[in-house]
A and B are shown apart, each in its own frame.
Chain A
Amino acid sequence: MRPFEEDLKQLNDLLQEMGVVVARSIQRSVLSLVEKDEDYAHQVIRDESRVDQMEIQVDEMATSLIVRDQPVARDMRLIVSAIKISTDLERMGDLAVHIAERSLSLMTQPQLPEHISFEELSSLVESMVLRGLECFVKRDPAIARGVLETDNSVDKARNAIQRQLIDLMKRDTASIPRALDTIIIARKLERIADHATNIAEDVIFLTQGIDVRHRNLEVPEAVA
């Protein structure tokens, strides 16, 4: 294997490792919320700096490859995608930290008077994140397209939680601060799903050279 190809493989491996750490943080942030577990929240917060370091490392490797090898075609697409995916992963890691912090805050307050289920939203989001990583690892645009199609369901699940909490706030003003924290958590989960969508779009670009951002889903279907 040429040194350039070895470097590309290292970049690919680092991105996968970063994806694993971020996916674990997202999972733990949800567990900290649902199971009211402080340890999970602290683990997420601790892992943030590792994710940040990995983002910097990906950027350094990618820029060195550009300078030294002037990559083209699929090599260029991998490097461009790596820079964008690492940015998305880093933001997802930040959002997991925000969820963990809000969960810790909620743990110090009384429970809301009615149960708010995060089951649907969190499972959709976690599935999108895992499939987003899977499509990158397997270089599979079909899985990527599946991720894009899930995004609407996430929006619906988030809206359902938001509606329930707005109704609750209207009935019980004392619960407003806790309900707002919970709405923000739902919003953070939805944002994580948006970043997973970005990764899926990057994988379509990486594998097929097609830019599907800001387009109707019918476009990639036509060229897939």
Chain B
Amino acid sequence: MTPTTTPDTQGAVQSAAPKMRASNINFYYGKFHALHDVSLEFATNRVTALIGPSGCGKSTFLRNLNRINETLRDTRIEGEITMDGENILDKNVTEIRRRIGMVFQRPNPFPKSIFDNIIYGPKINGMLRKTSAAEVVEKSLRRAALWEEVKDKLHESAYALSGGQQQRLCIARALAVDPEVLLLDEPCSALDPIATAKIEDLLVGLKNQCTIVIVTHNMQQAARVADTTGFFLLGRLIEHDKTDVIFKNPSKKETEDYITGRFG
């Protein structure tokens, strides 16, 4: 679906009500200046893809959105990141990470059963008083399009699942705490095309329920799933626009050179 957004002159995409907004983000690993004045909005219930060559800062930027980078030593962030208008950098980090879930490149299920993987987040967040564990597990696995495949083996080890199933389990685990935003860092890079297609279908369905930001090296994937796409290069956001515009007629030469494989 085409987003209800319009590009502005800086190549950003304006949205009437962005779910999240990063303003003038500068990020440092020690003395290394990794992100330079990045500003980007994430429209509510849309998929935003972040693309760019390795080391361009896209994953660093993503990891700032739920403050995972704070777990690293000697890092520093400047600027503001808001969700629903409130600066998340000032909020309780545990609460922020509940509201902004994350899925990583390699599936990382806990060494527990499928059931326990899903229930872990709701349990530590005290969410099971209102809903039964079984309900949460079924709902989360259904949202991640995994229920039919695992409903008869919920108490078996998550490690017994295939790579694609493990990644959908990780998505289900992230969804179990009802996040408002879901961040995905190259979620399909270790998966085969069939498992990748399932994840992509899942993302398109999930965006009705949450706002999605995905980092990907696969430009066809960005073209397939994202409403808007941002191109990063050397720690800077070069261009952000509707995905159709980025892949048909990007406004910046650097973007065109990268997506057509003429970069460098």
CA distance A98 to B248 in the complex (A): 38
Count residues of chain B with CB under 8 A from any CB of chain A.
13
Q: Which of B8-16, B128-136, B253-261 contacts A (4 or more CB under 8 A)?
A: B253-261
Contact assessment for A73 and B247 in the assembled complex, using a CB-CB cutoff below 8 Å: yes
Least CB distance from A25 to B in Å reads: 34
CA distance A30 to B14 in the complex (A): 55
Residues of B within 8 A of A208 (CB): 249
Contact assessment for B220 and A75 in the assembled complex, using a CB-CB cutoff below 8 Å: no
As a 0/1 sequence over residues 65 to 80 of chain A, the CB contacts with chain B under 8 angstroms (1 = contact) are 0000011111111000
- When A and B form their complex, what is the total count of cross-chain residue pairs whose Cβ atoms lie within 8 Å? 29
As a 0/1 sequence over residues 227 to 264 of chain B, the CB contacts with chain A under 8 angstroms (1 = contact) are 00000000000000000000111100001100111100
Contact assessment for A73 and B261 in the assembled complex, using a CB-CB cutoff below 8 Å: no
In the complex, whether B219 has a CB less than 8 A from a CB of chain A is yes
In the complex, whether A2 has a CB less than 8 A from a CB of chain B is yes
With contact pairs A209-B248, A209-B249 given, residues A74 and B261 touching in the complex (Cβ less than 8 Å): no
Residues of A within 8 A of B255 (CB): 73
What is the predominant secondary structure among interface residues of chain A facing chain B? helix
Contact assessment for A73 and B220 in the assembled complex, using a CB-CB cutoff below 8 Å: no
Contact assessment for B249 and A75 in the assembled complex, using a CB-CB cutoff below 8 Å: no
Interface residues of A in 75-116 (CB under 8 A from B): 75-77
In the complex, whether B223 has a CB less than 8 A from a CB of chain A is yes
Residues of B within 8 A of A77 (CB): 248-249
CA distance A5 to B257 in the complex (A): 13
Interface residues of A in 35-82 (CB under 8 A from B): 70-77
Residues of B within 8 A of A72 (CB): 219, 223, 247-248, 259-260
| Chain A residues in the interface with B (C-beta under 8 A) | 2, 4-5, 70-77, 208-209
